[in-house]
């Protein structure tokens, strides 16, 4: 019995050893390329950093930079952050709904589906790069329908300015919203495959109509993917290099930049937490997620 | 129910419903009619089909239009550009803008840099992220929960938080202005979106049946043999998806190269475009003589994404199908 026990423990240690070997490269990478820079940037955010020929000189300044950014000078953070957050709040639901609907459409069997899928995956290729900036810059971001409509006037008349402005800028670059939902469409499409056809079959036999089938089967089945897409969209939107706050993290002033990056990171986390909370509330009240 | 039937009826004569199917439709009882039109699931009815095509073609047009604009603009010559009647179809092919963009981007050298960076990064990330993903999905190791938390943390963290210390670190190592700062982290399963790829692999491996490993274990295979002989061969869809994502994103990324390679002689194409833009705007501020900035930019953009389009054309078949089978999540 003792021997058997010994064999079991040696088997588990062997398993653990193998597991450790597999994770070792990633863990080392994490320590060197993530944990160390992270700790160092936190340290730098409390320091005045001067890069000289001989090395790096730091003088502790305490919370000075944080105070400066948060309270003294609004130019660095708030001027860009507030409109950006408003835009994000509007953009995230639009991206999610659009990609959900598109994925459902692309899942239907119809002639030429392959061609459409190829086209709809194009954003994955373009959207991460500078090319997309070019497209927006030359006005290709606008929907043509909106140019002739009265929408601008209606917006300026009936929506408060602080929200009308981001709303207009979203409508102005609505195509950008479509372009940044490439990966989300992929995820939903992959997720749709996990709902077995037999469930739909059963619903049909029970005489469920399409409307309730969507709400009772498709949407709850996709809710884990909705959550994943929510996280992905928030992360993607907030780490996009052309994002106004991120472009202010420069090598000019290490201390201020580090403090700004950390404040921004906290805002991202806060926003993500808030989004998750809202998601949970919404899914509970709608009864989504009950199935899984 | 009644309401939706009348709704369906009133919609029958709508344009795209064909005559033949119309007769077939009218033959049935109202209930069957409704079933035909609306379908069982939200996606099987005829009305839905019409709507589907309209919507898909619309959105597909939105996606294709900038590409078409790019391609047609860059081959227009001066006469076409000034002629308001010429919008989509140029009267001839003019290669001047392409040649100019080719020279401005320093294409041959930049292409080599881009290709080697994107190729190496994607290759390394596929291997290292697969290994890490496998460990997260199937193996046991100390502090696994903590490590997984670290993985999620890495995924959520904006790279800008660590960029400055990273620059200092790579400066210490004398890697600045080479492409090592992009490539070496990839070797460890980090780098651009590395955490996401680990998560994708983790999800993929955890969907595979447990029996696979049990059979291998009975045969006395260790984790390494299991991984290379059993797991890796069947994970081709995941490998393809990660490879393509990694290649495309690294190719397009201009943030890391502009931070790490600002003083390098040969920069990746993505940075080349930013430099070209800066040059053009500086020129126009100085009252330069350049008439047609747009076609030049479009030509440069085209040259940059051309390799990606070629790659995508070759892999899209497996890619589109692979995505379905990856079960990217869960």
pLDDT at B186 over 90: yes
For residue B330, what pLDDT is reported?
A: 38
For residue B4, what pLDDT is reported?
A: 42
Beta bridge partners of A48: A59
Residues B134-165: pLDDT tens digits? 999 888 898 999 999 999 999 988 888 888 88
- Count CB atoms within 10 A of the CB of residue A39: 12
| Chain A hits for B245, Cβ within 8 Å | 124
Phi, psi values for residue B220, rounded to 5°: 85, 20
The domain limits of chain A are: 2-64, 70-286
- Bigger pLDDT: B281 or A231? A231
Burial B46-55 (b: 16+ CB within 10 A, else e): bbbbbebbee
Q: How confident is the model at residue B320 (pLDDT cuts 50, 70, 90)?
A: low
Which sign does the torsion angle of CA B308, B311, B317, B321 carry? Answer: negative
Of B155, B166, B247, whose CA–CA distance to B202 is shortest? Answer: B155
User: Mean pLDDT, to the nearest integer, of B292-301?
Assistant: 81
Residues B188-223: pLDDT tens digits? 989 888 999 998 888 888 877 788 777 777 777 777
CA closest to B310 among chain A residues = A125
Domain A70-286 in CATH 1.10.3720.10? The answer is yes
In eight-state DSSP terms, residue A70 is: I
| Chain A hits for B327, Cβ within 8 Å | 190-191, 193-194
| Residue A186 forms contact with B (CB below 8 Å) | yes
Place of tokens 């390098």: B264
- Bigger pLDDT: B124 or A244? B124
Give the rounded percent of residues in chain B with a pLDDT score beyond 90: 15
Radius of gyration of chain A from Cα atoms? 25
C-alpha distance from residue B21 to each of B18, B33, B48 (Å): 6, 11, 14
pLDDT at B10 over 60: no
Kindly determine whether residue A125 and residue B53, on different chains, have CB atoms separated by under 8 Å.
no
Say how far apart CA B12 and CA B177 lie, in whole Å. Answer: 65
Say how far apart CA B270 and CA A130 lie, in whole Å. Answer: 7
Q: Are B97 and B292 in contact (CB under 8 A)?
A: yes
User: Mean pLDDT, to the nearest integer, of B269-275?
Assistant: 82
Residues B23-55: pLDDT tens digits? 555 555 566 666 555 555 445 567 777 877 888
Kindly determine whether residue B248 and residue A231, on different chains, have CB atoms separated by under 8 Å.
no
For residue B38, what pLDDT is reported?
A: 56
For residue B12, what pLDDT is reported?
A: 43
| Residue A8 forms contact with B (CB below 8 Å) | no
For residue A255, what pLDDT is reported?
A: 82
Kindly determine whether residue A261 and residue B160, on different chains, have CB atoms separated by under 8 Å.
yes
pLDDT at B6 over 60: no
| Residue A238 forms contact with B (CB below 8 Å) | yes
For residue A187, what pLDDT is reported?
A: 83
| Mean pLDDT per 10-residue section of chain A, whose length is 292 residues | 63 82 93 92 84 71 78 72 81 88 82 80 73 65 54 64 66 72 84 82 83 84 85 84 72 80 89 87 64 38
Kindly determine whether residue B140 and residue A15, on different chains, have CB atoms separated by under 8 Å.
yes
Residues B238-267: pLDDT tens digits? 888 889 889 988 998 888 888 888 877 788
The mean of the pLDDT values for chain B is 78
Kindly determine whether residue B316 and residue A272, on different chains, have CB atoms separated by under 8 Å.
no
In eight-state DSSP terms, residue A57 is: E
Say how far apart CA B330 and CA B328 lie, in whole Å. Answer: 7
For residue A3, what pLDDT is reported?
A: 61
Contacts of B140 (CB under 8 A, 6+ apart): A12, A15, A16, A19
Q: Are A131 and B252 in contact (CB under 8 A)?
A: yes
Domains of chain B as residue ranges with CATH: 2-74 (no CATH), 100-326 (1.10.3720.10)
| Residue B206 forms contact with A (CB below 8 Å) | no
Q: Are A50 and A57 in contact (CB under 8 A)?
A: yes
The region, left, alpha or beta by phi > 0 then psi within -120 to 50, assigned to residue B327 is left
Q: Are A47 and A55 in contact (CB under 8 A)?
A: no
- Residue B221 Cα to chain centre, angstroms: 37
For residue B1, what pLDDT is reported?
A: 38
* Distance from the B261 Cα atom to the nearest Cα atom in chain A, whole angstroms: 13
pLDDT at B324 over 90: no
| Chain A hits for B201, Cβ within 8 Å | none
Say how far apart CA A223 and CA A219 lie, in whole Å. Answer: 6
Say how far apart CA B147 and CA B142 lie, in whole Å. Answer: 9
For residue B177, what pLDDT is reported?
A: 86
Kindly determine whether residue B254 and residue A129, on different chains, have CB atoms separated by under 8 Å.
yes
The vertex-B109 CA angle with B103 and B113, nearest 5°, equals 135
For residue B326, what pLDDT is reported?
A: 55
| Residue A104 forms contact with B (CB below 8 Å) | yes
For residue B119, what pLDDT is reported?
A: 94
* Number of residues that this document lists for chain B: 330
For residue B3, what pLDDT is reported?
A: 42
| Complex prediction ipTM | 0.81
Q: Are A90 and A74 in contact (CB under 8 A)?
A: no
| Chain B hits for A189, Cβ within 8 Å | 323-324
Residues A73-114: pLDDT tens digits? 666 677 778 878 888 888 888 889 889 988 888 887 777 777
Q: Are B301 and A131 in contact (CB under 8 A)?
A: yes
């Amino acid at each position: 019995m003792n021997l058997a026990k010994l064999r079991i423990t040696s088997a588990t240690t062997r398993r653990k050893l193998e597991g450790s070997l597999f994770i070792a490269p990633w863990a080392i990478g994490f320590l060197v390329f993530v944990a160390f820079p992270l700790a160092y940037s936190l340290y730098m955010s409390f320091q005045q950093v001067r890069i000289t020929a001989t090395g790096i000189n730091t003088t502790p300044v305490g919370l000075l930079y944080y105070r400066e950014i948060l309270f003294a000078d609004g130019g660095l953070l708030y001027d860009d952050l507030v409109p950006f957050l408003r835009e994000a709040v509007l953009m995230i639901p639009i991206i999610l709904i659009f990609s959900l609907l598109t994925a459902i459409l692309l899942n239907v069997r119809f002639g030429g589906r392959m061609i459409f899928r190829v086209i709809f995956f194009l954003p994955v290729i373009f959207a991460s790069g500078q090319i997309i900036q070019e497209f927006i810059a030359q006005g290709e971001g606008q929907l043509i329908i909106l140019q002739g409509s009265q929408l601008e006037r209606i917006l300026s008349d009936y929506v408060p300015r602080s929200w009308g402005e981001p709303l207009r800028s979203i409508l102005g670059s609505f195509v950008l919203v479509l372009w940044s939902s490439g990966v989300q469409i992929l995820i939903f499409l992959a997720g749709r495959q996990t709902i077995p056809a037999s469930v739909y079959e059963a619903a049909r036999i029970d005489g469920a109509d399409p409307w309730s089938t969507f709400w009772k089967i498709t949407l709850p089945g996709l809710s884990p993917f909705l959550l994943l897409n929510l996280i992905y969209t928030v992360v993607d939107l907030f780490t996009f290099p052309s994002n106004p706050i991120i472009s202010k993290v420069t090598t000019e002033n290490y201390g201020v930049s580090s403090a700004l990056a950390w404040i921004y990171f906290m805002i991202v986390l806060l926003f993500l937490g808030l989004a998750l909370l809202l998601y949970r509330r919404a899914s509970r009240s709608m009864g989504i997620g009950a199935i899984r | 129910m009644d309401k939706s039937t009348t709704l369906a009826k009133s919609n029958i004569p709508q344009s795209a419903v064909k005559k033949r199917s119309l007769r077939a439709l009218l033959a049935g009882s109202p209930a069957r009619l409704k079933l035909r039109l609306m379908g069982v699931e939200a996606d099987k009815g005829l009305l839905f089909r019409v709507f589907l095509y309209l919507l898909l073609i619309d959105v597909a047009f939105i996606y294709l239009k900038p590409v078409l604009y790019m391609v047609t603009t860059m081959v227009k010559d001066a006469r076409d550009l000034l002629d308001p009647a010429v919008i989509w179809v140029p009267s001839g092919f003019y290669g001047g803008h392409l040649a100019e963009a080719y020279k401005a981007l320093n294409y041959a050298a930049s292409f080599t840099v881009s290709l080697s960076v994107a190729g190496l990064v994607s290759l390394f990330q596929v291997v290292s992220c697969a290994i890490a993903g496998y460990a997260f999905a199937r193996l046991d190791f100390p502090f696994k929960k903590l490590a997984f938390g670290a993985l999620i943390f890495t995924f959520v963290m904006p790279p800008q938080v660590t960029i400055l210390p990273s620059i200092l670190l790579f400066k210490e190592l004398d890697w600045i202005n080479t492409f090592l700062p992009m490539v070496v982290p990839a070797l460890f399963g980090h780098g651009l979106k590395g955490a996401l790829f680990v998560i994708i692999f983790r999800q993929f491996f955890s969907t595979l049946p447990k029996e696979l490993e049990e059979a291998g274990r009975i045969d006395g295979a260790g984790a390494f043999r299991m991984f290379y002989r059993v797991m890796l061969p069947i994970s081709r869809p995941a490998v393809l998806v990660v490879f393509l994502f990694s290649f495309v994103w690294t190719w397009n990324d201009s943030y890391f190269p502009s931070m790490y390679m600002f003083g390098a002689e040969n920069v990746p194409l993505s940075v080349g475009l930013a430099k070209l833009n800066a040059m053009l705007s500086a020129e126009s501020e100085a009252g330069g003589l350049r008439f047609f900035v747009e076609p030049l930019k479009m030509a440069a953009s085209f040259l940059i994404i051309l390799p990606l389009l070629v790659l995508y054309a070759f892999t899209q078949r497996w890619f589109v199908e692979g995505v379905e089978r990856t079960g990217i999540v869960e």
